[in-house]
Structure 1
Amino acid sequence: MPDFRVTLVERLFEADAGDFRVTATDAEAAARIVLNAVPDSVDSDGIRTTILPDGQEVDLEVEEVVHGEIVAMVHDAGTGVLQGQFGFSLVFSPGREAAAVLARVMDRVLADDGERDTHAACLLLRRYLHEYLNADA
């Protein structure tokens, strides 16, 4: 039987939220306007103040745990290659190679007019994969 290294991971997600009203050409453009305004750091009180070019302002002070999870990350004991993540998680991190393959699959599904019922789901997943692949850019 194979030998595995199983890493038990506990994650806690904290959140705060604030709303902006943005006029833009599409949803992504609206999101980019807001995301580009977010400062890299918080102030001395732990507050991240985001101010849009039009003066709208939101203060985020993360204090509330909104989700907790425990997952098992399983690696081959000999090679260290990740075999999978088990247990429900909000974190989807397939790796750059797998994400690129998945993005190409989504592109093919979206190009097929016979798959109209899957388009909305594919658009969401493709957008997520695009963000994942460009996170370091």
Structure 2
Amino acid sequence: MFLYDVVTPAEIEKMFSLPAGSVRRDIKRKLFRRSEIRKSGATWLITLREAKRVYQGYEDKIQVKKDWNWVRNYIDSELNPVLEEEIADFLDGAPFERIYELYFDAIEGIGIEDEGEYLSFVEWFYRFKESYETTEI
């Protein structure tokens, strides 16, 4: 994640023409994914893709490769402590390695030959987790 891929509540409110205080209210309402926000001192930092997801219905897609090393490196670059914790909780004792296999299987499942567009790992994980929890109930 790059420095310029992170925005503050004030920047988001300006970007999306939202009333002052809207973002902080939505943080309290838990509209943002925990792994996509964090507080630095008194300031909330939010990934731009998360702001777009919440306020524009943005679907984060990236160019992917059907290549095991690429998948591992890409997922590792997306991990942060909160996301790692959420993945570990979801895996419920299964080896962490399993998450790489699941994302690789998802990429394979879309039928790309070499490179194609697919959901970013973070977007895929939350959707996969939600669909899994929904079918388990």
TM-score, reference length from structure 1 = 0.22
Q: Which is richer in strand?
A: 1
| Structure with greater helix share of residues | 2
What is the TM-score of this pair, normalised by structure 2? 0.22
